[in-house]
Structure formats: structure tokens, C-alpha cells
Amino acid sequence: MVGVATAHSLRHNRALLYANGKRSIVYSNLIQWGAIIIELIGLVLIAVELYFPKLSESLKATFEETKPKFMKSPKVWIGSYIIIWVTAVVGLSVWDPSMILISNMFFSVITTLVLLILGISKALVRLGVVLGRGNSVGGVGLVLALIGFSIEVVQLI
């Protein structure tokens, strides 16, 4: 009886290891495809800079604009985000009082990620302007292509 249970548990463990291996392959492919897409976006920006000067000028104006066109009044955006945050927390806490901590943590993480992405994008544009010798489109394309290539190289190691 013990031998049967052991054989069954070994088959079960082997199946779990196989599933975990498959999962890591899926994540590896996801990272690889993400790196390729980042690299291609960078190369497309470099090609736009070289071969499409009118489109390059409009992208340059967009990249170097201090306030994006859709964000004319940041107070409205910040206020609406805070209203959504408070409404979601109140709604979840009425439904289940233990959700107040989880919902606040969720919105804190989302806020941190958004601010991090905005900071990184501003840094990439500044780095792109420096590397592109005053040209943000080609420089940002170069930076994105280098980031994608670096991710691919790190996967090889």
C-alpha cells in the first residue's frame, strides 16, 4: 500500500515539476517577446527620424512637450483619481471591512507604478536628447533599442 502511494506521489510531483517548467518557459518567452517589441519600437523611431522628417518633427514636439495634450488641467486628473480611490475604498469597505487595507495598498501600488513610469519616461526623453545630440526621436529610439537588446543579452546569461 505504501509503494502505491509513493508511486502516485512521484507521478504527481513529476507532473508538478513539468508544469512549473512549462510556466518558466512561458515567462521566458514573454520576457523575450517584450524585449523584441521594445527593440522594434526603438528601431521604428530611429527609422522615422531618418526617413520621415515631418512625422519626426511632430513626434519631437510630442516628446518634448512639458504638458501632454490630454492633460491640460492636471488638477482635474488628480482630483478624479482621488475620487475614484476614495469611492472604491468606501465601496469595498462597506462590502467587506477587511478590504480597506487591500484596496488602499492596491491604489498605492498603482500610484507608485504610474509615477515610476512617468519618471522613467521623462528620464528616457532626457537621455534620448543627450544621446541624439538634441534630437529626442532618434535618441529615444536608440535608448529603447538598447534596452531591448540588453534584456535579450541578459536572458542569454
Residue burial 43-76, b: 16+ Cβ < 10 Å; e: rest: eebbebbeeeeeebeebbeebeeeeeeeeeeeee
DSSP class of residue 72 equals S
pLDDT of residue 130: 74
Q: Is the dihedral angle over the CA atoms 73, 75, 81, 84 positive or is it negative?
A: negative
What CA–CA distance (Å, rounded) separates 137 from 124? 11
Contact between 20 and 28 (Cβ < 8 Å): no
pLDDT of residue 108: 86
pLDDT tens digits, residue range 99-145? 788 888 888 888 888 788 777 777 777 777 777 676 777 777 888 88
Contact between 48 and 55 (Cβ < 8 Å): yes
* pLDDT score of 52 more than 70: yes
Domain ranges of the chain: 2-156
